A and B are shown apart, each in its own frame.
Chain A
Amino acid sequence: MSVPRFWRKIPQRYNLIGTQCTSCERRFYPPRSFCPDCRRSGVIEPYRFQGKGEVVTFTVIRSASDAFEQQTPFVLAIIRLDEGPRVTVQVVVEDVSEARIGMRVRSVFRRIGTEGESGVIHYGTKFVPDVPYAE
């Protein structure tokens, strides 16, 4: 990924910044600049998602592209954020057999990948199971 391409998406990758239509309150991630329901009467503004959601479905990646082969096996899931939109994102679990449809998850800040040994480091959002800490 080119440096400008990564840099442009930093707000979305770090902080789950999407958009919402203030006319109908529909929320979008990745951000949309036009509401398909309200069309010209829709007013779009940035919206920060809270980073909580639920696994809709998932797959286990055991044979990944070069950039991700050091992380295999890992869980790639479609998560429905509590505010509505669905995102495709990695879920970090110690054992891939822990992943379940319907599992509650929360966002964390992690390394997504690097451009080799000397290129930029891509940071962003992954999810982990949303389990309470022991008392």
Chain B
Amino acid sequence: MTGIITYGAYIPRYRIRLEEIARVWGDNAQDIIGGLGVREKSLPDVDEDTATIAVEAARGALARREIDPAEIGAVYVGSESHPYAVKPTACTVGEAIGATPNMTAADYEFACKAGTAGIQACMGLVGAGMVTYGLAIGSDVAQGAPSDALEYTAAAGGAAFLIGNRDPIAEIHRTVSFTTDTPDFWRREGQTYPSHGGRFTGDPGYFKHVQGAARLMFEQTGKSATDYDYAVFHQPNAKFPRRVAHLLGFTPEQIEPGLVVPTLGNTYSGATMIGLAATLDMAKPGDRIFVTSFGSGAGADSFDIEVTDAIEAETFRRGGAPTVRQLLSNPIYVDYARYARHKGKIVMQ
């Protein structure tokens, strides 16, 4: 059965509190924090970007399990902030983990769900016997225009999942997707920052598609929310995943381990995948995990995952790489000026 062989996550150490962003723009911080359910967000160091985050996440995955990198036949990196417009991030990752040259590689882009689309592609290649392992990564240094609503949550981080069928730590029983042409969020060629439809990203975007994919999964598997131990949803803020979880019948306890957005922010392509990594950090054999990502544009990917005995076997060292909670601990807080420097928002002559 195809599943997750190992996984890793990476979050830069730097954080900015939402109060600090609100202070600069004269907004009411408590209204924003209360509305979003987010207190602070991560940002990259001056020398970190989507590629460096992807590499660190991938190396974390390989530190947890002895895998010959030469057997990784596919590397897909999902992001909306690839360092180059033309030149794949996936090649840099492949080289940095020693998987090159006998591999296929590509960069994926689908707003916040490009990483889970990579998992699906890897499942297909593994299932067809075309590759032994496929590496799917969601990584972003998310962009939000200064003073735009997105600036309060657009964060930096990523997670990597190695997909294969040799003794997975978690089997992926099924994946389904729900996709339509919905212009709720976009970035035109050459533009620095994305644009969005404001509240339009809610009901016609997030809620329609997440519920569409989730209910399709329920229909195909005959399962419901009560059949799962944990659930992970895309988390652009804390309000959306909590509401959609409630609408689908999940309890707050089921989503709590994977709800990392309050102290991380929205890591776009990394968001659902870091939530899944945080859930796997504490999962036990037999646990059933329901995952649904969302990407504006718009679409959602659902996964029905069951943790196996291999997660506690000697071949898998969960402590070989930092957990998501460990990556979130010991942050370095910066003010807005430092944040602007780290994010390259200051134009230099």
Beta-carbon contacts of B305-349 to A below 8 Å, as 1s and 0s? 000000000000000001100110110100000000000000010
A111-B52 CB under 8 A given contacts A94-B332, A121-B84: yes
Q: Which of B46, B52, B98 contacts A70 (CB 8 A)?
A: B46
Give bound CA distance, A121 to B59, whole Å. Answer: 20
Q: Which of A94, A109, A126 contacts B55 (CB 8 A)?
A: A109
Contact check, B52 vs A123: say whether CB atoms are below 8 A apart: yes
Give bound CA distance, A115 to B165, whole Å. Answer: 42
Asked if B253 is at the interface (CB within 8 A of a chain A CB), the reply is no
Beta-carbon contacts of B75-106 to A below 8 Å, as 1s and 0s? 00000000110000000100110100000000
A133-B326 CB under 8 A given contacts A10-B95, A109-B59: yes
Contact check, A133 vs B95: say whether CB atoms are below 8 A apart: no
Asked if A62 is at the interface (CB within 8 A of a chain B CB), the reply is no
Contact check, B47 vs A71: say whether CB atoms are below 8 A apart: yes
Give bound CA distance, A91 to B92, whole Å. Answer: 22
A14-B47 CB under 8 A given contacts A109-B52, A123-B52: no
Query: Number of contacting residues on B, CB 8 A?
Result: 25
Asked if B56 is at the interface (CB within 8 A of a chain A CB), the reply is yes
Query: B-side binding surface: helix, strand, loop or mixed?
Result: loop
Give bound CA distance, A134 to B322, whole Å. Answer: 9
Asked if A64 is at the interface (CB within 8 A of a chain B CB), the reply is no
Minimum CB–CB distance from B287 to chain A (whole Å) comes to 22
Contact check, A111 vs B47: say whether CB atoms are below 8 A apart: yes
Residues of B within 8 Å of A111, CB to CB, are: 47-49, 52
Residues of A within 8 Å of B55, CB to CB, are: 109, 123
Asked if A15 is at the interface (CB within 8 A of a chain B CB), the reply is yes
Residues of B within 8 Å of A99, CB to CB, are: none
Q: Which of B46, B56, B326 contacts A109 (CB 8 A)?
A: B56
Beta-carbon contacts of A90-103 to B below 8 Å, as 1s and 0s? 00101000000000
A123-B51 CB under 8 A given contacts A10-B95, A14-B95, A71-B46: yes
Residues of A within 8 Å of B95, CB to CB, are: 10, 14-15
Query: Number of contacting residues on A, CB 8 A?
Result: 19
Within 8 A of A (CB), among B98-137: 98
Minimum CB–CB distance from B56 to chain A (whole Å) comes to 6
Contact check, A15 vs B98: say whether CB atoms are below 8 A apart: yes
Asked if B27 is at the interface (CB within 8 A of a chain A CB), the reply is no
Beta-carbon contacts of A27-64 to B below 8 Å, as 1s and 0s? 00000000000000000000010000000000000000
Asked if A108 is at the interface (CB within 8 A of a chain B CB), the reply is yes
Residues of B within 8 Å of A15, CB to CB, are: 95-96, 98
Residues of A within 8 Å of B332, CB to CB, are: 94
Within 8 A of B (CB), among A69-127: 70-71, 92, 94, 108-112, 121, 123, 126
Asked if B45 is at the interface (CB within 8 A of a chain A CB), the reply is yes
Residues of B within 8 Å of A126, CB to CB, are: 47
Q: Which of A92, A123, A133 contacts B327 (CB 8 A)?
A: A133
Task: Add 16 more A-B contacts to A15-B95, A109-B96, A134-B330 (CB < 8 A).
Answer: A14-B95, A14-B96, A70-B348, A71-B47, A94-B13, A108-B56, A109-B52, A109-B59, A110-B47, A121-B51, A121-B83, A123-B51, A123-B92, A123-B96, A133-B326, A133-B329
A-B contact pairs, 20 of them (CB 8 A): A14-B92, A14-B96, A15-B96, A70-B46, A92-B47, A94-B332, A108-B56, A109-B56, A110-B47, A111-B47, A111-B49, A112-B47, A121-B51, A133-B323, A133-B326, A133-B327, A133-B329, A134-B326, A134-B329, A135-B326
**Chain B interfacial positions (CB closer than 8 Å to A):** 13, 45-49, 51-52, 55-56, 59, 83-84, 92, 95-96, 98, 322-323, 326-327, 329-330, 332, 348
**Top 3 A-B pairs ranked by shortest CB distance?**
A133-B326, A109-B55, A111-B47
